[in-house]
Amino acid sequence: MHEKQVKSILSAQNGMNLYRGCTHGCIYCDARSTCYQMDHAFEDIEVKSNAVELLEKALKSKRKKCMIGTGAMSDPYLHLEKRLCLTRRSLELIDYYGFGLSIQTKSDLILRDLDLLKSINRKTKCVVSMTLTTYDEALCRIIEPNVCTTGRRAEVLRILKEEGIPTIVWLSPILPFINDTEENIRGILSYCRDASVYGLMLFGIGVTLRDGDRQYFYAQLDQHFPGMKERYIRTYGNSYEIPSPDTRRLLALVKEECRNTGMVCSSNRLFEYMHTFEDKQAGVQMSLFE
């Protein structure tokens, strides 16, 4: 890891990333792409050492309460977070100043901060998003090797359900010829049903590959799935979008499950839900990160 002093922490849409890079080791990670202009090794985590101070200053200066988002580019519960507690200190500020929270992670370390998630959700709204891609635990350990498996994430979702915290599952990415099977999708949907998740976020059935991400992904395919890289190249060339050949059938399966259970599967509706601040004490909603 290395530390860096930054000039600001909140984006124009009130999102933040406390770290840059990742140690989860997911073989498909888009954040490795060269377009993001990272000037250090991906696993050499950049720690924004003054992030908490900047966040407090930003929250104090806001005229209206809103949702604060984190986890879009770097998981807020990296291995370093267990020791550094930047995420926990940030949640303490969000809670103290009465803002809402939309947080995305793959890690069960989020349960460490359950007290803060519950406190935020009592006063405003706390939405937890978790990525589920691979129902088979052995396969999950290959695809997402350094973070808790899908089964454990499903346990986290059930715990959050019991505490009244709304959850969203990101069903993405699904890797063609690897986990784009009906068995995999049905397994993940069963977890979502058991946890009564609010909605499923998906953008088709497949994966995207950019420069930087593609090279790492193909190297991992060579290591764990011999011959698969060549199959991808034959099928997709250098395309950015890599859809599953079974996209239509699998999407229909997901949409049918959402209709039957009441889960939201419209990305527009889910983004609006995550971005809409609710003051439960005053009965007020403020939309889209005002």
Residues of the chain with pLDDT > 70, as a percent, come to: 97
Predicted pLDDT of residue 211 = 96
Predicted pLDDT of residue 215 = 96
Predicted pLDDT of residue 249 = 97
Q: Which of 119, 78, 112, 115 is nearest to 97 (CA)?
A: 119
| CATH (domain of 101) | 3.20.20.70
Q: Which tens digit of pLDDT belongs to each residue from 73-97?
A: 999 999 999 999 999 999 999 999 9
Q: Which tens digit of pLDDT belongs to each residue from 177-195?
A: 999 999 999 999 999 999 9
Count structural domains, the chain: 1
> Per-residue confidence at 290, pLDDT binned at 50, 70, 90?
very low
* Domain housing 43: 2-286
Long-range CB contacts (within 8 A, 24+) of 261-264: 261/192, 261/193, 263/192, 263/193, 263/197, 263/198, 263/199, 263/200, 264/198, 264/199, 264/200
> Per-residue confidence at 286, pLDDT binned at 50, 70, 90?
low
Q: Which of 206, 273, 270 is nearest to 244 (CA)?
A: 206
Predicted pLDDT of residue 113 = 98
**Helix, strand or coil, per DSSP, at residue 50:** coil
This prediction's pTM: 0.94
Determine the average pLDDT of the residues in 167-182: 97
Instruction: Check residues 39 and 109 and name the one with the higher pLDDT.
Output: 109
The partner residues of 168 in beta bridges, in order of sequence, read 129, 199
Cα torsion angle, 263, 149, 20, 76, sign: positive
Separation of alpha carbons 165 and 160, rounded Å: 5
Alpha-carbon dihedral 57, 61, 65, 69, rounded to 10 degrees: -40
> Which structure tokens are listed for 214?
């593609």
